[in-house]
Structure 1
C-alpha cells in the first residue's frame, strides 16, 4: 500500500512539473513532454513501451494522416476552393463562420465519433484561414472543435464516454440509458456554449493569442494569406496539380463516408486516405514529409504517454475514496453531485474521458446505492463532466488534436477554464431538474 501511494505522489509531482514547464516555456514543450514520459519510465510507474505508447495510438496516427491529407488538399488547390467558398458563404465574417462551424460540428457529433468530425474539419479550417484574410486558424480551431464536443454530449452514441458509462451502469445495476436521456441538459450546455462563444469567447481568444495568430502554424511554403490573384498566379486551374483535384475530392469524400459509418477505426481510415494521396500523386511524399509539423506530432505522442503514465496509477480511485471519506454518512444530495462533477471534470483534464468515466462510475454507483440516491443523474453528471473537460491538451483526443493550430498550454487554461466553470454551474442546476437526485 505504501509503495502504491508512493507511485501516486510521484505521478502527481511529474505531472505538476510538466505543467509548470509547459506554462512557463522554460524549455521546449516537446522536450518537457518527453522528459515527463522518461520520468514515468525511470521511476518504474510504467514501462518504456507504456510511457511512449502514444506514438502508436490511434489519435497520433489520425492527426499525422490528416496533416498529409491537408497538405494534399493544398497541393491540388482544393483548399483554396473550399476556403473561398466557405468564406463567401459566411460573407468573410469570422464570427459567423465559427458559429456555423460549431453548430454543424455539434450536430454531426451527435451521430458520429467526435474525433472523426474534428479530423474532417481541421484541413477545411486551414483552407479557410488561407483563403480569407479575415479568418485565422487560432480563432476558429478551438471553438469549432469544442462545438463538436458539446454536440457529442447530447445522445447515447455521441461519445465513447456515454457507451462506457452505459456498460458499467448496466453491469452493476441493470439500468440503461435511453438514446436521448443526455439531450435535455446536453442541449442546454451546447446552446450555452454557442452563446458564450459569440458574446465572450471570441474576444477572449483574440486577447489571449493576440499577435500570435500564426505562431506555430505550418502553411506549407506560404508565409501569409492567399487572395484570389495570388491563387491564380501560383495554382493555375489547368496545371498538373489541378488535374488531380477530382481524385483528391473522391478520396476525401470516401474518407468522410468511412468516418461516418465507422467501417474501420478512424486512424486506419485516415492513414489509408493519406497513402492514397501519395499513390495517386495528389501529394509528393518527399515534399509533404518535409513540410509536416513534426513538433505537433511529437508533442501529441508524448502527451498521450504522460496520460498513460497517470493511468498506470490509480489516482481516480484515490480521489473517489477521498470524496466519500470527506462527505460523511449523510451528505446533502446536491452537494455530493456538485463535488462529483467538479472532481470528474478536474480529473478528466489529465485523463482520457472514457478512462475517467470508467474509473468514477463504479465509485459513484456504489456511493449512491449506500446513500439511497438516484443513480441515473449522478452517472449522467460523470459523463458530462468527463466529456467537457478541455482546460489542458491532455483532456482527450479532440482537445489534443487542436494543437495543430499552434496553441500554447496556457491558452487552453485561459480560454477554457471560464467556460468549464459555466458548464459546471449548468450541470449542478439542470441535471436535478430533469432527473431527481433522490
Structure 2
C-alpha cells in the first residue's frame, strides 16, 4: 500500500508545507489517539521535541488533536528521542511522540510515534493511522476531553536511566571529553550525565535558539568537535545529532570514527564479557565490508537489513540480537534502550576506554574499511532508476565490481534523492562506477 504521510522514520517535511503543517499534526494526534484508545483506563500520550522553532507549533497542534479525542497529554519539552521512548514505558503511557527532524536543518520537522512498549510503531500500525488521518474523528464528549500538563523532572529521569547503563564500579575521572550536542535535544542532559560520572566536560552546540539545530555542528557536521578535541587536548570527542539518537566519535587526534567501528568495539567487548546475544550484530546494507570481514575473523556474524534503524531493530527482535545499528551512528543496545541512543552508546564506548587504558586512536580502529564512496543525486520527479539507460549503467557497474566489491543504489525515504554507494578494493574503480551512475541518473532526470 502506498504511504501518503509516513516515510522510513515517521512523518517528516518542510515546516508549514504539507504534510508538516499544524492542521496535519492535529489530525495525526486525533488519528493516533483514536487508534490507541484501548481499554477502560485513562489514556495518556507523552510528547517530547527537539529545539527547532516549529516544535512549539507542532507540539501544540498534536496536543489539541490528542485531547480532542479524549487522551491526556504529558509534555516533557526538549528531550532526546530515546528519552521519549524510555519515558513512554516508565510512565505507562499508551503512546509516545517525538517532534523532530533528527539531523535535518531547523526549517524541517517531523513526528515519530512510539507504542506503549517504547518501540517505534510497525508498518501496519502506521498504515492504520494513515487511514484514520483522512477520516473524520470521533470527538470526545465535553466531560471526556483530555488534559495537558508539563512535567519538570523528565531530564533527571533520563539522565538516571542513561547512567544506569554505565558500570557501577567505573567513573570518568581524569577523562577530558568534548561533547557536541548540535544545539539539539540533548543540550542539557548529555553534558550533565558525563559531568555526574566525573568527566572533565567540554560542551559545544549547547546554545539552541530555534534556528541553529544541526547548523554546521553535530554528528553530520563534526568538524567543530574535531577541532575542539585537538585544541583542548581532549581524550575523545562525541557528536550527537539534533534528537540525540545517533553519534559520531573523534579520537584524541581528531580522526573520525563512524558507527561501524563503534559497533565493532561494543560487540567485541560484549562478546568477551558474555553479554552478547545472537552471536554478532545487525547492521544495514550500508555497513562496510571491512566490518563484515572483521566480525568473521572474530567468529561473529553480521546480519544485514535495509537502511533504517527501524528495520535493524525489527531484525534484532526477530532473531534475538542485542546489538545493532547503522554506519551513520544509530546504535541500538537492546539491553538498555528500545531505539538508537547516542548517549548510552557513548557511555559503552567510554567504559571500554576507561578499563582498557588505551588511547582512543588505538581502541576505536579495529579494522581497515574498504574504500567506500557515497554520492547523492537530487531529482525533480519521475522514477530515474526505472529508465533503461540507468539500468544499463547500473548493470555494467555491478559487473565491474563483481568479486572485488559491491554496489548499492536506493531512493531516499525522506528526500528527493537517489543515493549511489559503491565499495571495493580499488578506489579508482569505485569512483568511476559511482560517477557513471550519478551521471546517468542526472541525464534521466
Q: TM-score, normalised by structure 1?
A: 0.25
More strand by share: 2
Q: Which structure is richer in relative contact order (CA contacts within 8 A, separation 6 or more)?
A: 1
Q: TM-score, normalised by structure 2?
A: 0.24
More helix by share: 1
